[in-house]
Every structure is written in structure tokens, then in C-alpha cells.
């Protein structure tokens, strides 16, 4: 039995107030009475999509999760409303495919190609700073071609440490798993690849269909990280079990014991494991609930 004092809710425009037991009452009301909208200091309504979100996460919702947010096409630069979608008109002059699908050798469009340019690194003509362009990728995959995206473990460690420090300073305990991964990529590659922009769910949709990324198994994830590759693990929210409006992304770290360890810059407020703060390294089991670990997909940046 809950003792609800000063409870403020609205049912058909009627209202009550509450203070004592606020959070517990909100959770109980929202889960038990779907028609009840709780109005208090903890929640607010997005004026664009009318979704109820925590006030502390409103700005991040507007920038990363709101389906009505305005985004910019990485290839043609056209702005569009995210939920409306966009058909990019930029095509390769050689194969006439969209820039995101082009693989022509020597092509000058923004898509990936076989001449060593990186997919999605707009603004720097595909040149990546901070990475070794002469290193061999003939590691776990057996691929002997050169890779623009392999780095040394020392460089990645330095980038991860910097990213976690920035995340703690700027976002505190807010959910910002995707931004931490973006910080590391920017440090290592000189800019954030277009495939890593957006929310965790946005990133999953982009890299799972990009020729610049390759899906690998959980067992291979640590091996590729040990070779100096940029490896991520993503749980995709909309089709997850149970479904969620927000996915979760982590950066896989090099290890020596064969276990998967990751950098996680999520909030640690119970969204996944409940571990506090933002961490440079922790077990994959600390970043994903037991029911979700088998649904995590791993990808390495070629």
C-alpha cells in the first residue's frame, strides 16, 4: 500500500498534487494506469513528438532520439525530418549508385572505395588521422589488405581515457553511450564517420548495411580489438527482447584472457547493469542485462 502525499497527476484534466514518495508513485501509476500522465519535476513532454521524457534527458532526446528531429544527409548535405526519411540524390559518376553504396576504385564521391578512402568521413576527403594506413589487417579475419582504421592499442587506450573524462565532465550520469564511442572515433580518425552518428539504434541501422563494417561473433570481437581494430557491440532496441525505444552501444577493448571487455559511457543508472558512472573498461556482462547479451551484435571497422 502506497502512502501518496501531495500527488500531482492529471486524469481528464483533473489534478492532484504530490511530493512524498514521488518517484515510487510515478513508476507505480505509469505501469498500473496507462491513461494517467504524471506531471512532476522529473518528467516533461517533448513539444515535437509529444513523448514523455525525463527533464534531465530532454536535450539529448531532442538531439539524438526524437523522431521529429532534423538531421543532415552525410552525402548530399540536405536537411530532413528523421521520421520522414530521405532519398539521397548524390550518385557516383562511374557506377551511378548512391554515394553510400559506391565501391568504385578511384571514385571521388563520399562513399567507400577500393583506393583507401574511408566511408563516411566527410570533410577530410577520406583521409584519416591518428590511424596506421600501412598496417596489415591479416589478423583474425585472414584479410591481407591494408586498413585505414587499425590503430595501436596505446592510441586507443589514450583516446578512451580522454573520452571517458570528457563524458564525465559534460554529461555526468546521463545516458550517452553513443557519444562516448563518437569521441573515441573522432580522436582516432580525425572526424566522426557518418556511420557512427546518431543514437545507438541509428548507428546499428547504418553500420549493419555499410560495406565499411563487418559483423563478427562475440568470440572474434576481442581478437579484432587486440589487432588494433575499432570494434563495437550494439543492442538494437526496437527489435530487442523486450523492445525498447533506446538501444545501447559499447566499444570493445583489447584483452589478454579471451573475455569481452568494453568501454561503456552509458549512465549506469539502472538502464543496463546499474553499474555507476562511465568506465574505460568493464565486463560485457556489466553493460548488458543477461536477457540481452545474446542479442548484442558486434562489428569491426574495416
Of 141 and 88, which is predicted with more confidence?
88
pLDDT in tens, 263-282: 999 865 444 444 545 889 99
Residue 64 is predicted with a pLDDT of: 83
pLDDT tens by residue, 43-66: 888 988 888 888 888 888 888 888
Question: Higher confidence at residue 158 or residue 110?
Answer: 158
44 falls within a domain: yes
Co-location of 60 and 158 in the same domain:
no
Same domain, 159 and 286: yes
Q: Is residue 117 part of a domain?
A: no
Transcribe 12-46 into DSSP letters: TTEE----TTHHHHHHHHHHH-TT-EE-SSSEEE-
Tell me which of 285 and 130 has the higher pLDDT: 285
Mean pLDDT over the full length of the chain: 73
pLDDT in tens, 17-47: 444 444 555 555 555 665 555 555 578 889 8
**Which DSSP state fits 146?**
B
pLDDT at 28: 58
d(CA 154, CA 208): 28
Is 285 part of a structural domain of the chain? yes
Instruction: Report the range of poorest mean pLDDT among 111-125, 166-180, 279-293.
Output: 111-125
Question: Domain boundary residue among 20, 35, 65?
Answer: 65
Shared domain for 58 and 172, answered yes or no, is no
pTM of the predicted model as reported, rounded to 2 decimal places: 0.53
What's the rounded mean pLDDT across residues 134-144?
Answer: 42
Give whole-number Cα distances, 283 to 103, 200, 215, 266, 287, in Å.
Answer: 36, 19, 20, 14, 7
Could you tell me if 162 and 61 lie in one domain? Answer: no
How confident is the model over 99-124, as a mean pLDDT?
41
* Buried b / exposed e along 101-119 (16+ C-beta atoms within 10 A): bbebeebebbbbbeeebbb
> 160 and 41 in one domain?
no
Tell whether 295 is covered by a domain: yes
* Same-domain pairing of 169 and 267: yes
Neighbours of 72 (CB within 10 A): 14
CATH number of the structural domain spanning residue 280: 3.90.1720.10
Q: Does residue 159 form part of some domain?
A: yes
Is pLDDT of 159 > 90?
yes
List Cα–Cα distances, 36 to 15, 51, 57, in angstroms: 11, 14, 21
Last residue of a domain, one of 43, 65, 87: 65
**Confidence at 99, pLDDT banded by 50, 70, 90:** low
**What total number of domains does the chain contain?**
2
Average pLDDT over residues 292-302: 93
Choose from 20-24, 160-164, 169-173, 291-295 the range with maximum mean pLDDT: 160-164
Asked whether residue 59 falls in the same domain as residue 159, the answer is: no
Q: 275 lies in which domain range?
A: 153-301
Q: Is the pLDDT of residue 105 over 70?
A: no
- What is the average pLDDT across 161-171? 88
Amino acid at each position: 500500500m502506497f502512502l501518496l502525499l501531495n500527488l500531482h497527476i492529471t486524469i481528464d484534466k483533473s489534478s492532484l498534487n504530490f511530493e512524498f514518495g514521488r518517484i515510487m508513485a510515478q513508476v507505480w501509476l505509469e505501469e498500473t494506469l496507462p491513461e494517467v500522465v504524471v506531471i512532476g519535476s522529473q518528467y516533461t513532454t517533448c513539444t515535437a513528438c509529444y513523448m514523455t521524457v525525463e527533464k534531465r534527458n530532454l536535450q539529448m532526446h531532442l538531439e539524438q532520439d526524437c523522431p521529429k528531429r532534423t538531421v543532415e544527409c552525410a552525402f548530399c548535405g540536405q536537411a530532413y525530418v528523421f521520421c520522414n526519411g530521405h532519398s539521397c540524390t548524390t550518385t557516383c559518376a562511374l557506377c551511378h549508385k548512391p554515394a553510400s553504396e559506391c565501391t568504385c576504385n578511384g571514385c571521388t564521391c563520399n562513399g567507400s572505395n577500393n583506393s583507401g578512402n574511408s566511408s563516411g568521413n566527410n570533410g577530410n576527403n577520406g583521409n584519416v588521422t591518428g590511424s596506421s594506413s600501412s598496417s596489415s589487417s591479416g589478423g583474425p579475419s585472414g584479410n591481407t589488405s591494408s586498413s585505414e582504421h587499425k590503430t595501436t592499442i596505446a592510441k586507443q587506450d589514450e583516446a578512451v581515457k580522454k573520452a571517458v573524462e570528457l563524458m564525465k565532465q559534460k554529461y555526468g550520469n546521463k545516458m550517452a553511450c553513443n557519444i562516448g564511442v563518437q569521441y573515441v572515433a573522432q580522436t582516432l580518425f580525425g572526424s566522426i564517420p557518418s556511420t557512427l552518428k546518431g543514437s545507438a539504434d541509428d548507428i546499428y541501422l547504418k553500420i549493419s548495411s555499410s560495406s565499411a563494417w563487418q559483423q563478427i561473433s562475440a568470440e572474434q570481437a576481442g581478437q579484432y580489438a587486440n589487432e588494433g581494430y575499432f570494434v563495437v557491440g550494439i543492442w538494437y532496441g526496437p527489435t530487442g527482447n523486450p523492445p525498447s525505444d533506446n538501444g545501447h552501444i559499447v566499444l570493445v577493448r583489447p584483452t589478454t584472457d579471451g573475455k569481452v571487455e568494453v568501454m561503456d559511457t552509458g549512465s549506469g543508472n539502472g538502464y543496463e547493469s546499474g553499474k555507476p558512472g562511465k568506465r574505460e573498461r568493464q565486463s560485457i556482462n556489466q553493460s548488458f542485462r543477461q536477457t540481452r547479451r545474446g542479442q548484442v551484435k558486434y562489428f569491426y571497422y574495416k
